Structure 1
Amino acid sequence: MTGRLTVIDCDPGTDDALALWLALGSPELDVRLVTVAGGNVGLELTLANARAVVGLAGLPVPVVGGADRPLLGRYVSETRVHAANGIGGITLPEGPPAAPGVASDAIRDLLRRAGPGEATLIGLGPATNLALVFATEPALADRVREIILMTGAWGEGNITPGAEFNAASDPEALAMLLAAGLPVSLVTLDLTAQAFVTPERLAALRARGEGRCLGAACDILAAVPTSRRFGFAGFPLHDPCAVALAVRPELLAVREVAARVECGEGPGRGRTHLDRWDRWDRWDRWGAPANVRLAETLDADGFFALLGERLAALP
């Protein structure tokens, strides 16, 4: 089986680490490039973490650093969840050196060599690197099969009352991608809340085997604090859900909706407005045609079975 050409853009990040291992362990994807932005922690750490995750998997996938800040506004980290080093305080062996260059240039170069509709781009952090690709060379849009973003929410946020962390980190970049006519799919907080890590699910993952990637993944999960939003019963596992949409799309139910993101200053900055019920047609004189595929529900048991299977297949 030949996997489809894939780029993972990330900001590891505890959940990014598991998402990377899920992607690298899935034959449905041919991961050719991992690009990195500052996000959950600063770029120096996210780049080191991505290198370590790829290195632990033992695969020769180039890792390239990119944006260390948003297009506008200020950079804010999230160490309360991800710890000071970004991966729950867990120490991984240092990975191979970063590949030379800049993330957006590396993605453009790969897309230029791809065929029409060949590439899948999976964005797990702020959308800065991906936005820079298409802002500077919009003709590359025809090489894209799908862009899957873990971002946004139709309900409440997780970094502010209204905004999800990735969307709030660079709303202008996200707005650029939403306006570019690209085939975008969104995996939001409302979906990832269904991928809920409990002590029982973590124990089931540990029982899958003794590989180094599986063990590191379980150690990282064990270090993530339980969520106050969910009564401290566990926590959502965000980024692997975006990879699951690419690998096993039947696990997620999707529909086409219209999406916008707030880019102004104030408490609404970064909030995503997702029209799931065609309400903008009644109130917006310009109309609001569907511009994204929105993942709404997840087969959680199937998702954790997939995660365990693929992590156990890695070294």
Structure 2
Amino acid sequence: MKRVIIDCDPGNGIAGANTDDGLAIALALASPALSVELITTVAGNTPSETGARVAKDLLLRLGSFVPVVQGATQALKEDPTPWRAALDNRVCQPDMQRLWRGVREPAAVAPDGDDAASAIGELICNNPGEITLVAIGPLTNVATAMQRYPAMAEAVAEIVIMGGVFGLDDYIKDTNFGLDPEAAHQVLHSGAAITLVPMDVTTQTMLTHQDLLRITASDHPLSHFVRETLRPWIDYSMRTRNIPGSWIHDVLVVAWLLNQRVASGTDYRVDIELRPGATRGKSWRYRTPLRVDVGIPAEAGALVHVLHHVDNALLLTMIEEALSQLKR
């Protein structure tokens, strides 16, 4: 059994907020091969306090006692104002708001603490080599934990990160790295064993309404949560992205921990742009040897394993099998 921490920014049940974090949490909780020992939240897809409420409410529904600790409310340096304006106001139009009609909002429950960075650092450093960190939001909590606990990069078994975008025509940067570039840079260069799951591979995933009905057919509170909260997001995604369903970015991270056949990858040198301007927060990668290396320092960037192709049918089967074996 693999022991994991999930650092996330879930928005299930919140109108206009992405639901892939909640699906990732659901797959982890439903999988006997994983032991979820801590869930922490960070400002990203939702404010940190909202994400903590979503996660805690889900666990209460399940009767689970996994601790939920709220974390950073803003990035290390990046101004949060334009990001919050963009992320928190995606469904201002009444026709979009109606998509969430009848969806139960998470209850106003308090988390189990508000210092996610210390909770992450202590658990990893007290159990060297035993904890895998699933980082599916901006990396503010993880970077702060590494600053406070210098041994953490060596003590963590692995960090699997959803973040970055390299070659998609309609993205210069993604939300997770773009919202806190300094944190992403620090974590990538920490020396920890890192697997990166960028948008280039997560946008190869697809969940349709038909898929959702099939994978949540079991009569269990976790299946009910997934079906209820992903339905409006699929509708929203179909309308705003002109695709037949929705991408399910974050769940690929958990699925890859369970079965590495679900996605293939390659080692790259990876880095992120920190300078002001339009490309601030942009991630980039290359493989050695470079054909043109003039002006480029040797070993520029951090050596990271990057996933680049997904078996979406296997991914959906894994989710369906995990949820279907649950007992009330």
Task: Indicate whether the TM-score tops 0.5.
Answer: yes
**Is 1:222 the equivalent of 2:231?**
yes
How many angstroms apart in 1 are the aligned matches of 2:109 and 2:278?
41
Aligned to 1:305: 317
How many angstroms apart in 1 are the aligned matches of 2:285 and 2:239?
25
How many angstroms apart in 2 are the aligned matches of 1:178 and 1:109?
20
Amino acid at match of 2:209: P
**Is 1:198 the equivalent of 2:196?**
no
CA RMSD across the alignment:
2.5
Contact 1:157–1:271 (8 Å) recurs in 2 = no
| Distance apart, 1:258 and its partner CA | 0.6
Q: Per-residue CA shift, 1:45-97, capped at 9, x if unaligned?
A: 11101111222232210000110000002222324668999x96732553864
Return the match for 2:117 from 104, 114, 125. 104
Aligned length: 308
- Seen in structure 2, the aligned counterparts of structure 1 residues 204 and 176 have a Cα distance that, compared at 3 Å, is same
Return the match for 1:186 from 196, 208, 212. 196
Contact 1:155–1:190 (8 Å) recurs in 2 = yes
Amino acid at match of 2:8: C
How many angstroms apart in 1 are the aligned matches of 2:169 and 2:150?
30
Amino acid at match of 1:272: S
1:236 aligns to what SS in structure 2?
Answer: coil
TM alignment of 1:6-85, pairs within 5 A = 6-13=4-11, 14-75=19-80, 76-77=83-84, 78-79=87-88
| Distance apart, 1:232 and its partner CA | 3.1
The TM-score normalised by the length of structure 2 is: 0.86
Q: Per-residue CA shift, 1:87-145, capped at 9, x if unaligned?
A: 96732553864113400111121123203x21100001000000111122221222211
Amino acid at match of 2:34: L
| Distance apart, 1:40 and its partner CA | 1.0
Q: What are structure 1's unaligned runs of at least 5 residues? A: none
TM alignment of 1:82-161, pairs within 5 A = 90-92=103-105, 94=107, 97-115=110-128, 117-156=129-168, 161=171
1:109 aligns to what SS in structure 2?
Answer: helix
- Seen in structure 2, the aligned counterparts of structure 1 residues 140 and 277 have a Cα distance that, compared at 3 Å, is closer
| Distance apart, 1:287 and its partner CA | 3.1
Amino acid at match of 2:46: V
Aligned to 1:234: 245
How many angstroms apart in 1 are the aligned matches of 2:71 and 2:160?
19
How many angstroms apart in 1 are the aligned matches of 2:244 and 2:134?
29
1:219 aligns to what SS in structure 2?
Answer: helix
| Distance apart, 1:286 and its partner CA | 2.7
- Seen in structure 2, the aligned counterparts of structure 1 residues 156 and 267 have a Cα distance that, compared at 3 Å, is farther
Contact 2:77–2:182 (8 Å) recurs in 1 = yes
How many angstroms apart in 1 are the aligned matches of 2:275 and 2:197?
23
Q: Structure 1 vs Structure 2: percent identity of aligned residues?
A: 29
Q: Per-residue CA shift, 1:273-313, capped at 9, x if unaligned?
A: 02146438734133336611101111111100111122334
Aligned to 1:247: 258
How many angstroms apart in 2 are the aligned matches of 1:96 and 1:276?
47
How many angstroms apart in 2 are the aligned matches of 1:47 and 1:254?
32
| Distance apart, 1:243 and its partner CA | 0.8
- Seen in structure 2, the aligned counterparts of structure 1 residues 74 and 177 have a Cα distance that, compared at 3 Å, is same
The TM-score normalised by the length of structure 1 is: 0.89
- Seen in structure 2, the aligned counterparts of structure 1 residues 104 and 299 have a Cα distance that, compared at 3 Å, is same
| Distance apart, 1:228 and its partner CA | 6.5
How many angstroms apart in 2 are the aligned matches of 1:204 and 1:20?
19
How many angstroms apart in 2 are the aligned matches of 1:195 and 1:106?
32
Amino acid at match of 2:270: A
- Seen in structure 2, the aligned counterparts of structure 1 residues 45 and 146 have a Cα distance that, compared at 3 Å, is same
How many angstroms apart in 2 are the aligned matches of 1:81 and 1:254?
33
1:5 aligns to what SS in structure 2?
Answer: strand
**Is 1:292 the equivalent of 2:304?**
yes
Contact 1:167–1:270 (8 Å) recurs in 2 = yes
Amino acid at match of 1:220: T
Contact 2:100–2:232 (8 Å) recurs in 1 = yes
Q: What are structure 2's unaligned runs of at least 5 residues? A: 12-18
How many angstroms apart in 1 are the aligned matches of 2:120 and 2:260?
24
2:151 aligns to what SS in structure 1?
Answer: helix
Amino acid at match of 1:112: C
Aligned to 2:15: none
- Seen in structure 2, the aligned counterparts of structure 1 residues 277 and 69 have a Cα distance that, compared at 3 Å, is same
Amino acid at match of 1:8: I
